[in-house]
Each structure stands twice: as structure tokens, then as C-alpha cells.
Amino acid sequence: MERNEKRIRYPLPDVIRGTVLINAIAYHGIWDLVYLFGMDWEWYTTRGAYWWQQAICWTFILLSGFCWSMGRRRLRRGVTVFGAGLLVMAVTLIFMPQDRVLFGVLTLIGSGMLLWIPLEKGLVHVSTPAGLAGSVLLFLLTRNVADGYLGFEGWNLWPLPEDWYANLFTTYLGLPGDTFYSTDYFGLFPWLFLFGAGYFLYRLLAEKKKLSVLGRPHFAPLEFVGRHSLGIYLLHQPVLYGILTLLLG
């Protein structure tokens, strides 16, 4: 892959990221209404709402892995995103301990960005189709590790040893203890495999010389949101809470 290829700012990833972020803001707005303002909204507990939430986080994480190869200053960017996750953790622990965020999605994405710097040295020797297929299969196999099983969603295939779920470090890995609680939790496993699937998907497009598909469509508002996603993500909950307080308080 040519070095200058990595520096192109393709619009499609920004459009997708902006679209997903708007969905995340809408989802969190409903969460605020239900859990902070006491609105009785039965739909929010349905499978439809669950899969909406899953589609948002899956796309964020997959896209983060996809865009890793296109980014510059990977160390600085990874530290920034990981630091933003720590900031969210600290603020919620101090001001909203009952709704705290421990090891949330920003911590996961920042960790993936940083871990991929050394991991890529070995992954460059893995064939792209094998890497993509392996990442997807490992994600599906480990989707339920936080619940104590290998398996995917409703299929628990194999129980894991209880003593693996021991402390904050195992929780960071994706193996939370019985007393752990977080309103937004993404351990390294299984989600690092989804990040890896995005990484290999980008490689597949690059090797097939299909990166031109990322050049359309242009839609300035969504591209703007996508380009500034980290700042908007950090601000959206305080802004939502303030607006809902003014309207309903």
C-alpha cells in the first residue's frame, strides 16, 4: 500500500460515523428519558431497541478498526481516545456514581488503537482473508464471555471457569466479576476481534484496489459530524441532560 494512500480523507467513513453518532445520541436521549427522568417507555426494553443499540456499537468499533490503517499519529490518537475514556470514567464516578461508566466504548477503542501498533508487526504476515474470517469467527465465539460463556447472543456453547472473573484487570479484558456494574461496558474481548475485522476489511479493499468506493457519497453535515465525532460524543450527554432538564424539569 502506498504511503500517500493512507493520508486520503475519504468521505464515506465520515458519513457512516456521523450517521451512527446521531443514532447514538438519539439512543442515549431515550436512555436519559427512561432512567434519569422516569419515563415509562416499554419499547426501550424490547429486542428491537437492543439490536438498535448493538448496531450502533458494532458499527463504531468495526469502523474504528477499518480506519486505523488510514490514520496518522496513531500513538497520539490512541492516547487521546483512551484518555477520553478515562475522563468519562472519572466524571461519572464523581458526579453520577449510580450511572457510572467503567471501561466504556472509548476505553475499548483507544485500547484497540494502541494495541494495534505492536500487533500489526505480526498481523502483516497474516493473509487478509484468513485474518478477516478468523476475526469474525473469534468475535462470534467470544461474544458472551462477559456472561461466563463462549458463544453468541442466545447460544451459550461452553462455560468458562468462574475464577477467571476476578478483579478490575480481568474486567478490562472482558471478564467482569459478579459485583461489577457499568452503564456502558466493553471489555477487550470480544470487541477487540471486531476491531480486527475492521482492520482486515480495510486491507481487503486496499489489496483489491477498491478503496475508491470510499469516495462517495459526499454529505457535508454528516461528514462534519463524523470528523468531529470524539468531541461531539464527549459533549452530547451533558448537552442532552441540560436540554431535557429545561424541558421536563
Tens of pLDDT along the chain (249 residues)?
A: 444 444 678 999 999 999 999 999 999 999 999 999 989 888 998 999 999 999 999 999 999 999 999 988 999 999 999 999 999 999 999 999 999 999 999 999 999 999 999 999 999 999 999 999 999 999 999 999 999 999 999 899 999 999 999 999 999 999 999 999 999 999 999 999 999 999 999 999 999 999 999 998 899 999 999 999 999 999 999 999 999 999 987
* pTM for this model (two decimals): 0.94
Output the pLDDT for position 5: 45
State how far the alpha carbon of 208 is from the alpha carbons of 109, 124, 152, 211, 213, in Å: 27, 16, 31, 8, 11
159, containing H or E segment? strand 155-159
Helix orientation angle between 128-142 and 188-207, rounded to the nearest 10 degrees: 160
pLDDT of 25: 97
CA neighbor of 241 nearest in space, from 48, 52, 29, 21: 29
Please count the helices (runs of H) and the strands (runs of E) in the chain.
9, 2
What the block records as the C-alpha cell of 167 is 478483579
Query: Letter for the amino acid at 84?
Result: A
How confident is the model at residue 3, as a pLDDT? 41
Q: Specify the pLDDT at position 8.
A: 75
**Residue 73 in contact with residue 6, Cβ under 8 Å?**
no
CA neighbor of 49 nearest in space, from 64, 63, 35? 35
